[in-house]
Structure 1
Amino acid sequence: MPLLWPASADAAVSVENAALSEPTDELSLSVQAGEKVPQDTVIVTMFYETQAKNASSLGDLLNLHAAEALRIAKGVANVSVHSGEFTESPATGRDGRITVWRGRTEVMLESSDFAATSKLAARMSGTMQIGSVTFSVSPQARNAAGEELATRAIASFRKQAQANAQAFGYGGYVVRKVSVNTGAGDGGRQFAELSSAGGNDAGPVGLQAGTETVTVQVSGSVRMMH
Protein backbone atom coordinates (compact mmCIF):
# COMPACT_ATOMS: atom_id res chain seq x y z
CA MET A 1 0.00 0.00 0.00
CA PRO A 2 1.64 3.30 -1.06
CA LEU A 3 2.53 5.69 1.71
CA LEU A 4 1.77 9.40 1.36
CA TRP A 5 2.59 11.90 4.04
CA PRO A 6 3.52 15.57 4.41
CA ALA A 7 7.05 16.46 5.35
CA SER A 8 5.81 17.69 8.75
CA ALA A 9 2.75 17.35 10.94
CA ASP A 10 1.37 20.62 9.54
CA ALA A 11 1.99 19.62 5.91
CA ALA A 12 5.02 21.93 5.93
CA VAL A 13 2.75 24.78 4.83
CA SER A 14 3.68 28.34 5.72
CA VAL A 15 2.87 31.81 4.46
CA GLU A 16 6.03 33.78 3.85
CA ASN A 17 5.23 37.22 5.22
CA ALA A 18 8.14 37.84 7.56
CA ALA A 19 10.22 39.76 5.03
CA LEU A 20 8.72 42.87 3.47
CA SER A 21 10.43 42.08 0.17
CA GLU A 22 8.46 38.85 -0.15
CA PRO A 23 4.86 38.84 -1.44
CA THR A 24 2.33 38.11 1.31
CA ASP A 25 0.23 35.90 -0.96
CA GLU A 26 2.96 33.30 -1.48
CA LEU A 27 2.55 29.83 -0.02
CA SER A 28 5.33 27.27 0.48
CA LEU A 29 4.53 23.57 0.52
CA SER A 30 6.40 20.27 0.73
CA VAL A 31 4.85 16.85 0.17
CA GLN A 32 6.54 13.45 0.34
CA ALA A 33 5.31 10.12 -1.01
CA GLY A 34 6.93 6.78 -0.22
CA GLU A 35 6.52 3.15 -1.08
CA LYS A 36 8.25 -0.07 -0.03
CA VAL A 37 9.89 -1.70 -3.06
CA PRO A 38 11.12 -5.33 -3.03
CA GLN A 39 14.88 -5.73 -3.26
CA ASP A 40 15.44 -7.51 -6.57
CA THR A 41 19.24 -7.65 -6.77
CA VAL A 42 21.75 -9.66 -4.73
CA ILE A 43 25.55 -9.35 -4.52
CA VAL A 44 27.44 -12.26 -2.95
CA THR A 45 31.10 -11.77 -2.04
CA MET A 46 33.13 -14.99 -2.18
CA PHE A 47 36.62 -14.91 -0.69
CA TYR A 48 39.72 -17.00 -0.03
CA GLU A 49 42.32 -16.13 2.60
CA THR A 50 45.65 -17.79 3.21
CA GLN A 51 49.28 -17.17 4.14
CA ALA A 52 52.69 -18.18 2.80
CA LYS A 53 56.35 -17.68 3.55
CA ASN A 54 56.88 -15.29 0.65
CA ALA A 55 54.86 -12.99 -1.56
CA SER A 56 55.40 -15.06 -4.70
CA SER A 57 54.00 -18.26 -3.17
CA LEU A 58 51.11 -16.30 -1.67
CA GLY A 59 50.22 -14.77 -5.03
CA ASP A 60 50.25 -18.18 -6.68
CA LEU A 61 47.83 -19.60 -4.07
CA LEU A 62 45.45 -16.67 -4.30
CA ASN A 63 45.45 -16.67 -8.10
CA LEU A 64 44.89 -20.41 -8.18
CA HIS A 65 41.74 -20.20 -6.04
CA ALA A 66 40.41 -17.14 -7.88
CA ALA A 67 40.93 -18.84 -11.25
CA GLU A 68 39.15 -21.99 -10.06
CA ALA A 69 36.21 -19.96 -8.75
CA LEU A 70 35.91 -18.10 -12.05
CA ARG A 71 36.13 -21.42 -13.94
CA ILE A 72 33.21 -22.81 -11.92
CA ALA A 73 31.19 -19.68 -12.62
CA LYS A 74 31.95 -19.66 -16.35
CA GLY A 75 28.86 -20.19 -18.45
CA VAL A 76 26.36 -19.80 -15.61
CA ALA A 77 23.41 -17.89 -17.03
CA ASN A 78 21.84 -14.83 -15.38
CA VAL A 79 24.73 -14.27 -12.92
CA SER A 80 27.36 -11.57 -13.43
CA VAL A 81 30.76 -12.64 -12.06
CA HIS A 82 33.86 -10.50 -11.65
CA SER A 83 36.97 -10.24 -9.50
CA GLY A 84 36.82 -8.28 -6.28
CA GLU A 85 39.56 -7.07 -3.96
CA PHE A 86 43.02 -8.66 -4.02
CA THR A 87 45.30 -7.90 -1.07
CA GLU A 88 48.72 -9.07 0.13
CA SER A 89 50.46 -7.87 3.27
CA PRO A 90 53.53 -8.95 5.27
CA ALA A 91 53.55 -9.75 8.99
CA THR A 92 56.71 -9.04 10.95
CA GLY A 93 58.21 -10.46 14.12
CA ARG A 94 59.62 -8.58 17.09
CA ASP A 95 62.87 -8.06 15.25
CA GLY A 96 61.07 -6.32 12.41
CA ARG A 97 61.71 -9.06 9.89
CA ILE A 98 58.94 -10.47 7.73
CA THR A 99 57.78 -13.81 9.10
CA VAL A 100 54.82 -14.54 6.84
CA TRP A 101 52.73 -13.07 4.03
CA ARG A 102 48.94 -12.96 4.32
CA GLY A 103 46.49 -12.35 1.52
CA ARG A 104 42.89 -12.38 0.39
CA THR A 105 41.20 -12.58 -3.00
CA GLU A 106 37.51 -12.06 -3.80
CA VAL A 107 35.04 -12.97 -6.53
CA MET A 108 31.73 -11.11 -6.73
CA LEU A 109 28.44 -12.63 -7.86
CA GLU A 110 25.64 -10.23 -8.85
CA SER A 111 22.20 -11.13 -10.16
CA SER A 112 18.45 -10.71 -9.97
CA ASP A 113 18.12 -14.52 -10.17
CA PHE A 114 18.40 -15.49 -6.52
CA ALA A 115 18.09 -19.23 -7.17
CA ALA A 116 20.91 -19.28 -9.75
CA THR A 117 23.14 -17.17 -7.49
CA SER A 118 22.46 -19.43 -4.51
CA LYS A 119 23.37 -22.58 -6.44
CA LEU A 120 26.52 -21.02 -7.87
CA ALA A 121 27.69 -19.82 -4.43
CA ALA A 122 27.18 -23.36 -3.10
CA ARG A 123 29.21 -24.84 -5.96
CA MET A 124 32.03 -22.38 -5.35
CA SER A 125 32.09 -23.00 -1.58
CA GLY A 126 34.66 -25.78 -2.00
CA THR A 127 37.10 -23.17 -3.34
CA MET A 128 36.00 -19.99 -1.58
CA GLN A 129 33.95 -18.97 1.44
CA ILE A 130 30.91 -16.70 1.45
CA GLY A 131 31.97 -13.39 2.93
CA SER A 132 28.85 -11.25 2.67
CA VAL A 133 25.48 -10.97 0.98
CA THR A 134 23.96 -7.60 0.05
CA PHE A 135 20.47 -6.97 -1.33
CA SER A 136 19.35 -3.83 -3.14
CA VAL A 137 16.73 -2.41 -5.48
CA SER A 138 17.84 -2.30 -9.11
CA PRO A 139 18.00 1.09 -10.88
CA GLN A 140 15.20 -0.02 -13.20
CA ALA A 141 12.85 -0.88 -10.33
CA ARG A 142 13.83 2.27 -8.43
CA ASN A 143 13.13 4.49 -11.45
CA ALA A 144 9.78 2.82 -12.11
CA ALA A 145 8.70 3.33 -8.50
CA GLY A 146 9.99 6.91 -8.54
CA GLU A 147 7.97 7.81 -11.63
CA GLU A 148 4.75 6.48 -10.11
CA LEU A 149 5.39 8.16 -6.77
CA ALA A 150 6.20 11.47 -8.48
CA THR A 151 2.79 11.46 -10.16
CA ARG A 152 1.08 10.87 -6.81
CA ALA A 153 3.18 13.43 -4.93
CA ILE A 154 2.57 16.12 -7.56
CA ALA A 155 -1.18 15.46 -7.42
CA SER A 156 -1.05 15.78 -3.62
CA PHE A 157 0.98 19.01 -3.90
CA ARG A 158 -1.63 20.52 -6.22
CA LYS A 159 -4.49 19.37 -3.97
CA GLN A 160 -2.90 20.88 -0.86
CA ALA A 161 -2.07 24.10 -2.69
CA GLN A 162 -5.72 24.52 -3.74
CA ALA A 163 -7.08 23.59 -0.31
CA ASN A 164 -4.77 25.96 1.56
CA ALA A 165 -5.34 28.81 -0.88
CA GLN A 166 -9.09 28.51 -0.32
CA ALA A 167 -8.56 28.31 3.45
CA PHE A 168 -6.80 31.70 3.28
CA GLY A 169 -9.70 33.18 1.31
CA TYR A 170 -8.25 32.90 -2.19
CA GLY A 171 -9.92 31.24 -5.16
CA GLY A 172 -6.91 29.37 -6.53
CA TYR A 173 -3.17 29.55 -7.16
CA VAL A 174 -0.40 29.55 -9.74
CA VAL A 175 2.88 27.68 -9.28
CA ARG A 176 5.92 29.94 -8.87
CA LYS A 177 8.64 27.30 -8.47
CA VAL A 178 8.75 23.59 -7.70
CA SER A 179 11.30 20.79 -7.36
CA VAL A 180 10.86 17.00 -7.48
CA ASN A 181 13.48 14.85 -5.76
CA THR A 182 13.72 11.06 -5.49
CA GLY A 183 15.50 9.36 -2.60
CA ALA A 184 15.77 6.10 -0.71
CA GLY A 185 14.90 5.30 2.88
CA ASP A 186 16.05 1.96 4.23
CA GLY A 187 19.30 0.78 2.67
CA GLY A 188 20.22 -2.67 1.48
CA ARG A 189 20.58 -5.38 4.10
CA GLN A 190 24.01 -6.93 4.45
CA PHE A 191 24.84 -10.24 6.12
CA ALA A 192 28.52 -10.66 6.92
CA GLU A 193 30.47 -13.88 7.17
CA LEU A 194 27.74 -16.25 5.99
CA SER A 195 28.85 -19.79 5.28
CA SER A 196 27.68 -23.06 3.83
CA ALA A 197 29.02 -26.58 3.96
CA GLY A 198 32.04 -26.89 1.71
CA GLY A 199 32.49 -29.28 -1.18
CA ASN A 200 30.92 -29.80 -4.57
CA ASP A 201 27.79 -31.34 -3.01
CA ALA A 202 27.03 -28.34 -0.80
CA GLY A 203 23.38 -27.33 -0.83
CA PRO A 204 22.10 -23.97 -2.07
CA VAL A 205 22.71 -20.95 0.14
CA GLY A 206 19.54 -19.41 1.59
CA LEU A 207 18.95 -15.90 0.19
CA GLN A 208 16.07 -13.84 1.57
CA ALA A 209 15.70 -10.26 0.36
CA GLY A 210 13.72 -7.51 2.05
CA THR A 211 12.38 -4.15 0.90
CA GLU A 212 13.60 -0.58 0.59
CA THR A 213 11.51 2.56 0.90
CA VAL A 214 11.72 4.74 -2.20
CA THR A 215 10.59 8.33 -1.62
CA VAL A 216 9.73 11.31 -3.80
CA GLN A 217 9.54 14.81 -2.35
CA VAL A 218 7.80 17.66 -4.13
CA SER A 219 8.46 21.09 -2.68
CA GLY A 220 8.00 24.62 -3.92
CA SER A 221 5.94 27.75 -3.70
CA VAL A 222 2.70 28.99 -5.22
CA ARG A 223 1.09 32.43 -5.56
CA MET A 224 -2.44 32.44 -4.17
CA MET A 225 -4.89 34.14 -6.52
CA HIS A 226 -8.31 35.75 -5.96
Structure 2
Amino acid sequence: MTAYPRLAAALALCAASLGSVNAQASDELHYNQVAVRAEVSQEVAHDLMHVTLYSESQNTDPAKLAEETTRALNAAVEKARQAKGVTVSLGSRSSFPVYDDKGQKITAWRERAELRLESADFAALSQLSADLLGSLKMAGMNFSIAEKTRKQHEDALIKQAVDAFKARAQLATDALGGKGYKLVNLNLNSAGFQPQPIMMRGMAAKAAMYADSGASPEIEAGTSRVVVSADGTIEVQQP
Protein backbone atom coordinates (compact mmCIF):
# COMPACT_ATOMS: atom_id res chain seq x y z
CA MET A 1 0.00 0.00 0.00
CA THR A 2 1.41 3.39 -1.00
CA ALA A 3 1.75 6.29 1.42
CA TYR A 4 -1.31 8.12 0.04
CA PRO A 5 -3.83 5.25 0.43
CA ARG A 6 -2.44 4.56 3.93
CA LEU A 7 -2.93 8.24 4.86
CA ALA A 8 -6.46 8.24 3.41
CA ALA A 9 -7.35 5.11 5.37
CA ALA A 10 -5.98 6.63 8.57
CA LEU A 11 -7.98 9.79 8.04
CA ALA A 12 -11.13 7.79 7.34
CA LEU A 13 -10.62 5.78 10.53
CA CYS A 14 -10.04 8.98 12.51
CA ALA A 15 -13.20 10.57 11.08
CA ALA A 16 -15.22 7.47 11.91
CA SER A 17 -13.88 7.49 15.47
CA LEU A 18 -14.72 11.18 15.88
CA GLY A 19 -18.21 10.56 14.50
CA SER A 20 -18.71 7.75 16.99
CA VAL A 21 -17.54 9.97 19.86
CA ASN A 22 -19.81 12.83 18.76
CA ALA A 23 -22.76 10.45 18.44
CA GLN A 24 -22.11 9.14 21.95
CA ALA A 25 -21.80 12.68 23.31
CA SER A 26 -25.05 13.58 21.61
CA ASP A 27 -26.77 10.54 23.11
CA GLU A 28 -25.45 11.43 26.55
CA LEU A 29 -26.57 15.05 26.20
CA HIS A 30 -30.15 14.01 25.56
CA TYR A 31 -30.28 11.26 28.15
CA ASN A 32 -33.28 11.64 30.53
CA GLN A 33 -33.94 15.17 29.29
CA VAL A 34 -37.35 16.80 29.68
CA ALA A 35 -38.66 20.03 28.13
CA VAL A 36 -40.32 22.28 30.71
CA ARG A 37 -42.37 25.44 30.21
CA ALA A 38 -43.80 27.91 32.74
CA GLU A 39 -45.74 31.10 32.07
CA VAL A 40 -46.81 34.00 34.30
CA SER A 41 -48.85 37.08 33.50
CA GLN A 42 -50.19 40.27 35.02
CA GLU A 43 -52.72 42.96 34.12
CA VAL A 44 -51.05 46.37 33.88
CA ALA A 45 -52.92 49.66 33.74
CA HIS A 46 -52.28 51.88 30.72
CA ASP A 47 -50.38 55.02 31.62
CA LEU A 48 -49.99 56.66 28.20
CA MET A 49 -52.79 58.22 26.19
CA HIS A 50 -52.59 58.72 22.41
CA VAL A 51 -54.95 60.90 20.39
CA THR A 52 -54.98 61.37 16.62
CA LEU A 53 -56.79 64.39 15.23
CA TYR A 54 -57.07 65.35 11.59
CA SER A 55 -57.94 68.16 9.25
CA GLU A 56 -59.78 67.29 6.04
CA SER A 57 -61.08 69.74 3.47
CA GLN A 58 -61.79 70.10 -0.23
CA ASN A 59 -61.05 72.77 -2.82
CA THR A 60 -60.93 73.09 -6.59
CA ASP A 61 -57.50 74.72 -6.30
CA PRO A 62 -54.91 72.26 -4.92
CA ALA A 63 -52.52 75.08 -3.95
CA LYS A 64 -55.17 76.86 -1.89
CA LEU A 65 -56.18 73.52 -0.40
CA ALA A 66 -52.61 72.82 0.74
CA GLU A 67 -52.35 76.31 2.21
CA GLU A 68 -55.64 75.90 4.07
CA THR A 69 -54.56 72.54 5.50
CA THR A 70 -51.17 73.87 6.57
CA ARG A 71 -52.77 76.84 8.28
CA ALA A 72 -55.16 74.63 10.23
CA LEU A 73 -52.34 72.29 11.30
CA ASN A 74 -50.01 75.08 12.34
CA ALA A 75 -52.70 76.67 14.50
CA ALA A 76 -53.45 73.33 16.17
CA VAL A 77 -49.76 72.57 16.75
CA GLU A 78 -49.19 75.99 18.31
CA LYS A 79 -52.10 75.48 20.69
CA ALA A 80 -51.09 71.90 21.53
CA ARG A 81 -47.53 72.92 22.40
CA GLN A 82 -48.88 75.19 25.11
CA ALA A 83 -50.24 72.18 27.01
CA LYS A 84 -47.75 70.89 29.59
CA GLY A 85 -46.68 67.27 29.40
CA VAL A 86 -48.10 66.69 25.91
CA THR A 87 -45.89 65.37 23.09
CA VAL A 88 -46.92 66.78 19.71
CA SER A 89 -46.06 65.30 16.30
CA LEU A 90 -47.42 65.37 12.78
CA GLY A 91 -48.89 62.21 11.31
CA SER A 92 -49.63 61.27 7.73
CA ARG A 93 -50.73 63.82 5.13
CA SER A 94 -52.23 63.02 1.75
CA SER A 95 -54.31 64.53 -1.02
CA PHE A 96 -56.35 62.89 -3.74
CA PRO A 97 -58.56 63.99 -6.67
CA VAL A 98 -62.35 64.07 -6.56
CA TYR A 99 -63.98 62.99 -9.83
CA ASP A 100 -67.33 63.73 -11.36
CA ASP A 101 -70.19 61.23 -11.41
CA LYS A 102 -68.78 59.57 -14.51
CA GLY A 103 -65.37 59.18 -12.88
CA GLN A 104 -63.58 60.84 -15.79
CA LYS A 105 -63.04 64.49 -14.88
CA ILE A 106 -61.37 65.91 -11.77
CA THR A 107 -63.74 68.37 -10.16
CA ALA A 108 -61.82 69.11 -6.95
CA TRP A 109 -59.07 68.00 -4.61
CA ARG A 110 -59.38 66.66 -1.05
CA GLU A 111 -56.58 66.72 1.48
CA ARG A 112 -56.20 65.10 4.90
CA ALA A 113 -53.48 65.72 7.49
CA GLU A 114 -53.04 64.21 10.96
CA LEU A 115 -51.88 65.61 14.29
CA ARG A 116 -50.76 63.11 16.94
CA LEU A 117 -50.73 63.85 20.65
CA GLU A 118 -49.35 61.76 23.51
CA SER A 119 -49.35 62.29 27.27
CA ALA A 120 -49.31 60.55 30.63
CA ASP A 121 -51.68 63.25 31.91
CA PHE A 122 -55.02 61.90 30.73
CA ALA A 123 -57.00 64.88 31.99
CA ALA A 124 -54.79 67.43 30.23
CA LEU A 125 -54.76 65.58 26.91
CA SER A 126 -58.48 64.88 27.11
CA GLN A 127 -59.21 68.57 27.61
CA LEU A 128 -56.78 69.62 24.87
CA SER A 129 -58.43 67.18 22.46
CA ALA A 130 -61.85 68.61 23.25
CA ASP A 131 -60.54 72.14 22.67
CA LEU A 132 -59.03 71.22 19.31
CA LEU A 133 -62.23 69.56 18.10
CA GLY A 134 -63.44 73.01 17.16
CA SER A 135 -61.03 73.05 14.21
CA LEU A 136 -60.03 69.39 13.80
CA LYS A 137 -61.81 66.04 13.78
CA MET A 138 -61.15 62.99 15.94
CA ALA A 139 -59.51 60.06 14.15
CA GLY A 140 -58.88 57.87 17.14
CA MET A 141 -57.87 57.51 20.77
CA ASN A 142 -55.92 54.64 22.29
CA PHE A 143 -53.81 53.83 25.33
CA SER A 144 -50.54 52.05 25.96
CA ILE A 145 -47.97 51.35 28.64
CA ALA A 146 -44.85 53.49 28.96
CA GLU A 147 -41.50 51.79 28.32
CA LYS A 148 -40.32 52.34 31.90
CA THR A 149 -43.52 50.82 33.31
CA ARG A 150 -43.27 47.86 30.94
CA LYS A 151 -39.69 47.11 32.01
CA GLN A 152 -40.53 47.29 35.72
CA HIS A 153 -43.34 44.77 35.38
CA GLU A 154 -41.35 42.49 33.08
CA ASP A 155 -38.43 42.41 35.52
CA ALA A 156 -40.75 41.39 38.35
CA LEU A 157 -42.42 38.73 36.21
CA ILE A 158 -39.08 37.24 35.13
CA LYS A 159 -38.34 36.22 38.70
CA GLN A 160 -41.83 34.73 39.03
CA ALA A 161 -41.38 32.85 35.74
CA VAL A 162 -38.08 31.34 36.92
CA ASP A 163 -39.65 30.29 40.22
CA ALA A 164 -42.57 28.72 38.34
CA PHE A 165 -40.10 26.91 36.04
CA LYS A 166 -38.24 25.49 39.04
CA ALA A 167 -41.49 24.24 40.55
CA ARG A 168 -42.48 22.48 37.33
CA ALA A 169 -39.00 21.05 36.86
CA GLN A 170 -39.16 19.55 40.33
CA LEU A 171 -42.65 18.25 39.65
CA ALA A 172 -41.45 16.51 36.49
CA THR A 173 -38.45 15.10 38.33
CA ASP A 174 -40.63 13.65 41.08
CA ALA A 175 -43.04 12.18 38.53
CA LEU A 176 -40.15 10.37 36.82
CA GLY A 177 -38.79 9.08 40.12
CA GLY A 178 -35.60 11.11 39.87
CA LYS A 179 -33.43 12.15 42.80
CA GLY A 180 -32.84 15.60 41.33
CA TYR A 181 -32.35 17.44 38.07
CA LYS A 182 -29.72 19.44 36.24
CA LEU A 183 -30.61 22.51 34.17
CA VAL A 184 -29.50 22.12 30.57
CA ASN A 185 -30.80 25.40 29.12
CA LEU A 186 -33.32 28.12 29.92
CA ASN A 187 -34.90 30.79 27.72
CA LEU A 188 -36.89 33.75 29.07
CA ASN A 189 -39.32 35.46 26.71
CA SER A 190 -41.82 38.26 26.96
CA ALA A 191 -44.92 38.06 24.80
CA GLY A 192 -45.32 41.81 25.07
CA PHE A 193 -48.50 43.52 26.06
CA GLN A 194 -51.81 42.24 24.81
CA PRO A 195 -54.15 45.25 24.86
CA GLN A 196 -57.63 44.80 26.25
CA PRO A 197 -60.61 46.59 24.64
CA ILE A 198 -60.96 50.24 25.63
CA MET A 199 -63.97 52.49 25.47
CA MET A 200 -64.45 56.03 24.32
CA ARG A 201 -68.10 56.56 25.08
CA GLY A 202 -70.05 58.23 22.29
CA MET A 203 -67.03 60.11 20.94
CA ALA A 204 -68.22 60.32 17.35
CA ALA A 205 -71.77 61.27 18.26
CA LYS A 206 -70.70 63.81 20.88
CA ALA A 207 -67.84 65.47 19.02
CA ALA A 208 -69.88 68.54 18.16
CA MET A 209 -71.08 68.84 21.76
CA TYR A 210 -67.52 68.67 23.08
CA ALA A 211 -66.40 71.34 20.63
CA ASP A 212 -69.23 73.68 21.68
CA SER A 213 -69.07 73.12 25.43
CA GLY A 214 -65.33 72.56 25.84
CA ALA A 215 -66.05 69.43 27.89
CA SER A 216 -63.47 66.65 27.77
CA PRO A 217 -64.58 63.21 26.52
CA GLU A 218 -65.33 60.46 29.04
CA ILE A 219 -62.69 57.77 28.68
CA GLU A 220 -61.60 54.46 30.16
CA ALA A 221 -57.90 53.78 29.79
CA GLY A 222 -58.15 50.02 30.31
CA THR A 223 -55.31 47.56 30.87
CA SER A 224 -52.96 45.24 29.00
CA ARG A 225 -51.71 41.81 29.97
CA VAL A 226 -47.98 41.24 30.01
CA VAL A 227 -46.82 37.62 29.70
CA VAL A 228 -43.37 36.23 30.50
CA SER A 229 -42.51 32.62 29.79
CA ALA A 230 -39.62 30.39 30.85
CA ASP A 231 -38.81 27.57 28.41
CA GLY A 232 -35.99 25.17 29.04
CA THR A 233 -34.66 21.66 29.30
CA ILE A 234 -33.71 19.71 32.40
CA GLU A 235 -31.85 16.44 32.78
CA VAL A 236 -33.43 14.19 35.40
CA GLN A 237 -30.89 12.37 37.56
CA GLN A 238 -31.91 8.82 38.38
CA PRO A 239 -31.24 7.29 41.81
Give the TM-score band, short-chain normalised: 0.7 to 0.9
Is 1:23 aligned with 2:30?
A: yes
**The one of 55, 61, 72 aligned to 2:68:** 61
Is 1:222 aligned with 2:234?
A: yes
Q: Label 1:101 to 1:188 Cα distance change in 2 as closer, same or farther (>3 A).
A: farther
Q: Distance in 1 between matches of 2:105 and 2:94?
A: 20
* Structure 1 position 145, deviation (Å): 1.1
Q: Give the letter for the 1:60 counterpart.
A: E
**The one of 48, 59, 67 aligned to 2:55:** 48
- Unpaired runs of at least 5, structure 1: 1-19
Q: Distance in 1 between matches of 2:234 and 2:103?
A: 74
Answer with 1 or 2: which has the greater Rg.
2
Q: Give the letter for the 1:46 counterpart.
A: L
Counterpart position of 2:147: 139
The answer to whether the 8 Å contact 1:123/1:201 transfers is no
Q: CA RMSD in A?
A: 2.1
* Structure 1 position 188, deviation (Å): 5.8
SS at match of 2:218: coil
**The one of 91, 97, 100 aligned to 1:90:** 97
Task: Name the stretch that deviates more: 150-159 or 189-198.
Answer: 189-198
Count matched residues.
207
Identity of aligned residues (%): 24
If the length of structure 2 is used for normalisation, what is the TM-score? 0.80
SS at match of 1:174: strand
**The one of 177, 189, 193 aligned to 1:169:** 177
* Structure 1 position 57, deviation (Å): 1.2
Q: Give the letter for the 1:211 counterpart.
A: T
The answer to whether the 8 Å contact 2:198/2:221 transfers is no
Q: Distance in 2 between matches of 1:200 and 1:71?
A: 20
SS at match of 2:85: coil
Q: Label 1:199 to 1:153 Cα distance change in 2 as closer, same or farther (>3 A).
A: closer
The answer to whether the 8 Å contact 1:179/1:218 transfers is yes
Q: Which has the higher helix share?
A: 2
Q: Label 1:39 to 1:198 Cα distance change in 2 as closer, same or farther (>3 A).
A: closer
The answer to whether the 8 Å contact 1:81/1:110 transfers is yes
- Unpaired runs of at least 5, structure 2: 1-25
The answer to whether the 8 Å contact 1:177/1:220 transfers is yes
Q: Distance in 1 between matches of 2:199 and 2:111?
A: 22
The answer to whether the 8 Å contact 1:135/1:189 transfers is no
Counterpart position of 1:13: none
Q: Which runs of 4+ in 1 moved over 4 A?
A: 188-193, 198-201
